[in-house]
Each structure stands twice: as C-alpha cells, then as structure tokens.
Amino acid sequence: MLGGVIGIISVILIAKIPPPEGLSSASMLGLGIFVGAIVWWILGVMPDYVTALLMCAAWAGTKIVPYNVAFAQFASENYWLLMSALGIGLAVTKSGLLNRVSLLILDKFPCSYRGQTAALMISGCIVAPLIPSVTSKAAIAAPLAKGISDKMRFDSYSKGASGIFSAMLIGFAITGPSFLSSSFMCYTIKGLLPRTVQDQLTWTTWFVNALPWTICVLVLSYFAIQLFYKPDNEVKVDHTEIKEQIMNLGPMSKNEKIVMIILLLCLILWVTETLHGIAAATVAIVALCILIGSNTINRSDFQTGIAWDALIFIGCIISIGSVFPTLNIDKWIGSLAGRFLLPVIDNIWLYIIMTALIIYIVRFVLVSMIATFTIFTVFVTPFALKVGINPFVTAFVILTSVNVFTTVYQNSTFLAAYYASGGMVKHGHIIKMSLAYMLINIIALMACVPIWHAFRFLNF
C-alpha cells in the first residue's frame, strides 16, 4: 500500500514541476507516469505487467498521447514475431524435440566432467535459436543436468554438481543474447530501438555482431567452471546410459518431425531475409498457424502454454519508444545530461565498463530484468547517439549485463533452473560463477568492438 502511494505522489510531484525548455506540461505528466511505474516496479506494488498496462492506460487516459501511440507496439512487427516465436517454442517443448536433440549432442562428447560440461554449453547454444524463452530452456535442461551429475556420482551441493549446473545455465540461459530468436528479451530490446535501427537488425546481423561475445562467454566460462568446480574424484558416465535414454525415447514422433521441419524452414528464412524480403514476423506467424492447424499445438496449449502476461508487459514496455519521442522526452534527456556523460561515452572501452558496472549495481535493487534494460536503454540511447554509437550497441551491452544471478532474487531464469534441478546445488556455491560472468561479460563485449566498427555501429 505504501509503495503504491509513493508512486502516485511521484507522478503528481513531477507533473506539477514547471516544464523546462524543450518540454511541455504533457511531457512532464508523461514523465511522471513513467517514474511512478518505476517506483511500483522497484517496490513490487503490483505484478510488473499490470503496472505496465496501467502506465500505458494512464498515458492514453490523460490524453497526453493517443491510444495508438500509448499502445503502439501491440501492432508492431516485433510484437507479432515474439508472440508467434513463443508459440513455436511451446511446440518444441511439448513435442520433446529439445530433450532428444540435447541427448544426441551429449552422446557425441566424452563422458568425463570436462566433456559433459562442454557438451551442455554447446548443446545449449545449438538449441538456443529454436526456443525464444531462456527460462523454458533452462527449466527443461536442468533435470537433464541433474541426471548427468547423478550418473557421474556427484553428491548434491558438491563441486562437480555445481559445475554441471553452471555449464547448463551458461549454455541454455546466459547465452540468450547470442541470437535474436533465442530470447524474448532480444525481441523486446529490438522493439525499443528506433525504426531505422530495427530495419538493420536482421537475424543474421544480430548473430554476427553478437558472435565474438558468444565465443568469449562460452570459452572463458568453460575455463572458469573447470577452475571453480573441478571435482576431487571424477567418475565417467557410461555412454550406454545416454544411449539408453535416447533409445527409450523411441523413434521421432509425428509432432517432432513436424516441429523439426518447421524450425528448419523458419531458421533458413530468417537467416536469408535480406535475399527474399519476407519479414521474419510473417514467417513466424505462418509457422505458428501450421503448427496449430496440424494440431501440434491445440487450443488448450495456445491458451495456457504461452506467457500472455509477459507479452502484455513487453507490448506495454516497448511502447515507451513511441511515447517518449512524441512528448520530446528523449531529446530533452539527451540535451540535459549529455555534457556529463559524453566524456565517458566518447571512449567505447570506458563506456562498456561503466555501463556494465552500473547495471550490475542497479540489479541489486531493480529486480525485473526487463524493466532494468528498458529503463536504461531508453535513457542512455540519446547520449550514445550524440557520439556515433548505434543504439544496438547500447542495448546489447545492457541486455548482457542484466543477466547476473549473484543474489537468488535477481534472475527468474536462474530460479527456474535452480528449482527444476531438484536440489542439485546451493545458490551460495553458484555466486562465484555469477561474479566470473560479470568480468567475462565485459571482456566479451570488448571483443565485439572491431565487428561493431566494421558494421558501422560505432561511427568514430
């Protein structure tokens, strides 16, 4: 109750401030509503999607912007791409294809601790672009990791079990930013960017610009896992046990075959979008319709299996990208604080370090990952544009930096994997992996600078 009152008071106080040069009274009310929403997110007054919905309703209800601006993103290509991609991900999960693919990959690697940690990380990356929910992938892969740990006779809470869990988490969850289609947060970030930038970010462009980060995170995290969690006594898994699990799955079902064909076609069309010109959203919508029409996903699945609350939240939150320009708030922010931030932003290396460190600190307070990268992307983008940093660079740095799990409440994906693993690890044992990721992430982002220059995302 108190948090709700504080948020409302914040709206009133900011709305009453005389508008500075460049803003209007409508701009101040719009900014006040946004700040009030931030207060509610931080204090957890309501579920995040309810707060976001009220924020957009308040913008439209006070008539500072029309409804088609306040809720603009619900009619956007990115929104329908995300909705369809979540439906495709549901089909992959329901069909059992993800479990089959993961086991087949594990079977190709040595059954030692080193081999299986590498297998989990690589298999996570291979299946990453197939499902746009890192939480779903982590929740599915966690029991698989537990099974590997048990077969290697690692006790729960042991170093070996923690290493297997960490490899699964890195591969199936933390590397989500590697592909546009591997996380709904990637679609959300893209939707926050200016239209001209969105048009640049095809599936392939995103993948290529994220590739140095992906490689660095995988390689350096692998060595960190060997350093932190190498077991004192290692027992190899018998390959026959993994083969037995594969055999127990039986031949591929009709639904698995349908999903596999649809996925392959989607990936091919997404990768070659610049050649044929068919929008990624159109491909995803048609694919979803085929999956529903073939009864791979039924009506009940469609109603209950898609995270509609997350879709509402995302649609509302990325509408900030339409509201702020309409009210000139984005330009005002850039002119207000640009002179203080330009000395830092002008140095890309310092910019990466400072942005990542700020996000790491803020994540101790601002629990919602989506709210964190939305707020910072919206506020930092105008500054970066002044010195020639493409908004994608800013968004990507923020997106990778929110993905920490130093405290148990910071990362919902970590929690999903943690509980799905069935008491495999203690969070206290995984903290050092989160701290290692903080450093690895900064190094990996710096490795992207040359390719960002090559794509003219850094114009200096």
Q: Is the per-residue pLDDT at 339 higher than 60?
A: no
350 and 217 fall within a common domain: yes
> What's the token pair of residue 27?
């701009």
Q: Does residue 81 sit in the same domain as residue 64?
A: no
Pick from 238, 179, 187: nearest CA to 79: 187
Domain count, the chain: 2
Residue 460 placed within a domain? no
Do 15 and 119 sit in the same domain of this protein? no
Q: Give pLDDT, residue 443.
A: 97
Average pLDDT over residues 390-404: 91
Q: How many CB atoms lie within 10 A of CB 368?
A: 22
* Cα separation, 409 vs 138, whole angstroms: 16
Whether residues 297 and 430 fall in one domain:
yes
- The confidence score (pLDDT) of residue 79 equals 77
Query: What does the pLDDT average to over 152-178?
Result: 89
Does the pLDDT at position 170 exceed 80? yes
Residues 321 and 399 both lie in one domain: yes
Are 27 and 124 part of one and the same domain?
A: no
pLDDT tens digit sequence for 197-256 = 888 888 889 999 999 999 999 999 999 999 999 887 766 666 676 777 778 878 888 888
Has residue 320 got a pLDDT over 90? Answer: no
Q: Which domain holds residue 59?
A: 1-68
φ/ψ region of 202 (left if φ > 0, alpha if ψ in -120 to 50, else beta) reads beta
Residue 389 forms beta bridges with which residues? 458
**The last residue of a domain, from among 33, 68, 103:** 68
User: Is a pLDDT exceeding 70 seen at residue 29?
Assistant: yes
pLDDT at 460 over 60: no
165 and 43 fall within a common domain: no
Question: pLDDT-derived band of residue 80, with 50, 70 and 90 as boundaries?
Answer: confident
Domain-terminating residue out of 28, 50, 68: 68
Q: Write down the pLDDT at residue 449.
A: 95
Q: Does 114 lie in the same domain as 33?
A: no
pTM (2 d.p.): 0.72
Residue 162's pLDDT is 92
- Mind listing the pLDDT tens digit for each residue in 355-375? 898 889 878 766 667 777 777
The per-residue pLDDT of the chain, averaged, comes to: 83
Residue 347 has pLDDT above 70, yes or no: yes
